Amino acid sequence: MSKKIFFSGVQPSGNLHLGNYLGSIKNWVDIQDEYQAICCVVNLHAITVPQDPSELKKKTIEVAKLYLASGLDPEKVIIFRQSDVPQHTELMWLLNTITKTGELFKMTQFKDKSGIQENGVTEKISVGAGLLNYPILMAADILLYDTDLVPVGEDQTQHLELTKTLARRFNNRFAKERALLKIPEIFVSKIGKKIMSLTEPNKKMSKSAESPNSRIELLDKPEVVRKKIMRAVTDSENKIYYSDKKEKAGLRNLLNIFSIITGKAPEEIAVDYQDKGYGDLKKDLAEELVEYLKPIQKKFSEISDEEVLDIFEKSKRTLIPRAERKITELNRAMGLE
């Protein structure tokens, strides 16, 4: 029996951080033997907001290097650049014709980024159509490869539900005898929910956050990691214990990070430091993080751009025939061929 298919991707915008790694990439590494993993650098998604072309090209290669440095094996995993497979945008158009505009306007991420509210009032001057259609391209990415499992952050589950809706709608209209689009299963990582901003611990760690002090980036130098952790928000109580209280969000975040990278329960770590201060906890956490990131950074430095481009080219040759077959099936079902 062939392996089930797993699909995921990361945008090459901003710098990948600890939350991206622990909440997403590490999970891909852990299941790469169990699934046929297809891991994309989603550069077409990145251009839904303005990008500097030279920086986008550089970041696309950097993200792929981080995939490899994190432990993804190109002999087991298909690592590719989204723009190398034109069938992604071709399928997006087919799905675009069966998507209702009301479904897109309801997307929470679109409303957050555009400033458009439920009453139609907008706080921003201009919103690109690409941002509105982002979820359709995401659906195309997934459905093109008959994906079985899609790991997402909690903030992306609404997009995945739309993907499932569009697959069902296409099958009901054009493929009643034999479903042509597979309904994927959603997997939400619990770990990803625990990695919060170092400066605003009630928000997720994000590569788009204005302050770089809000996140530990995977390529941060040791001295930068130490400074960011020492500056991390805690509270004025200066008492270490694990709690769900809102005012302890900063401390809880540090304990959760400490727990995830060491494998020790956050409650146990809190007990270890209950007679110490926040400074001691932060210093030790910073050193743990420096050591944790060291192997990734070392491997990253050893990977050349040429190696990544070779992997992209090989993946392109693998995926395009597969994608063409799927598009041909769908075109015939819709009467286009």
Q: Which long-range contacts (CB under 8 A, 24 or more apart) does 313-317 make?
A: 314/74, 315/78, 315/79, 315/80, 315/81, 315/84, 316/80, 316/81, 316/84, 316/85
Side-chain-facing half-sphere of 119: CA atoms under 13 Å: 2
Report the alpha-carbon distance of residue 214 to residue 204 in Å, rounded. Answer: 9
Q: How far apart are the first and last CA of the chain?
A: 32
Report the alpha-carbon distance of residue 253 to residue 242 in Å, rounded. Answer: 10
At residue 191 the predicted structure's pLDDT band, cuts being 50, 70 and 90, is confident
pLDDT value at position 40? 98
Q: Which residues are catalytic?
A: 113, 204, 207
Q: Show me where the domains of the chain are located.
A: 5-188+304-334, 212-299
Q: Is the pLDDT of residue 151 over 90?
A: no
Hey, is 191 helix, strand or coil? coil
Report residue 141 CA to chain centroid gap: 13
At residue 157 the predicted structure's pLDDT band, cuts being 50, 70 and 90, is confident
Q: Which range has the worst mean pLDDT, 39-53, 139-153, 179-193? A: 179-193
Tokens of 132: 């509105």
CA distances from 49 to 28, 104, 175, 200, 283 (A): 27, 17, 35, 24, 38
CATH classification code of 212-299: 1.10.240.10
Q: What percent of the chain has pLDDT over 90?
A: 82
**pLDDT tens-digit map of 58-94:** 999 999 999 999 999 999 999 999 999 999 999 999 9
**pLDDT tens-digit map of 255-266:** 999 999 999 999
Query: Which residues, listed in sequence order, are joined to residue 196 by a DSSP beta bridge?
Result: 204
Other Cβ atoms less than 10 A from the Cβ of 237: the count is 13
Asked whether the domain spanning 212-299 has the same topology as the one spanning 5-188+304-334, the reply is: no
E strands of 173-290, at which residues? 185-188
**Shortest CA distance to 306 belongs to which of 113, 65, 45?**
65
Give DSSP secondary structure letters for 100-145: -HHHHHT-HHHHHHH-B-TTS-BSSS---HHHHHHHHHHHHHHHTT
**pLDDT tens-digit map of 194-241:** 899 999 999 999 998 899 999 999 999 999 999 999 999 999 998 999
Q: 0.85 exceeded by the pTM?
A: yes
**Shortest CA distance to 234 belongs to which of 262, 290, 196?**
196
**pLDDT tens-digit map of 286-322:** 999 999 999 999 999 999 999 999 999 999 999 999 9
Q: Does domain 5-188+304-334 have CATH number 3.40.50.620?
A: yes
Tokens of 284: 């030790």
At residue 244 the predicted structure's pLDDT band, cuts being 50, 70 and 90, is very high
pLDDT value at position 4? 95
Contact 311, 318 (CB under 8 A): no
Report the alpha-carbon distance of residue 156 to residue 20 in Å, rounded. Answer: 14
- Of 154 and 107, the one with more pLDDT: 107
Hey, is 274 helix, strand or coil? coil
Mean pLDDT across the chain, nearest whole number? 93
Helices 87-96 & 305-334 angle (0-180, nearest 10): 40
